[in-house]
Amino acid sequence: MRFNSAAAFDMLCRAQMSDYGWQRYWTDKKKAERRWEFVKEKYPTRYMEFFYKSTGSHVPLSRGIEFFLLFDDIERAVAVTEASVQFAESLMADLSLSVPKWLKQNNEITLLDLLFKGCFGRVL
- Tell me what the mean pLDDT of segment 52-59 comes to: 87
> Could you read off the pLDDT of 85-107 as tens digits, one per residue?
998 888 887 888 787 776 666 66
pLDDT recorded at residue 103: 64
Provide the residue type at 30 as one letter: K
Torsion of CA 84, 78, 63, 45, to 10 degrees: 140
Contact status, residue 62 vs residue 30, Cβ threshold 8 Å = no
**Would you list the domain boundaries of the chain?**
5-92, 98-124
Contact status, residue 24 vs residue 64, Cβ threshold 8 Å = no
pTM, two decimal places: 0.69
- Tell me what the mean pLDDT of segment 32-56 comes to: 94
Of 57, 8, 50, 10, which Cα lies nearest the Cα of 32?
50
pLDDT recorded at residue 48: 95
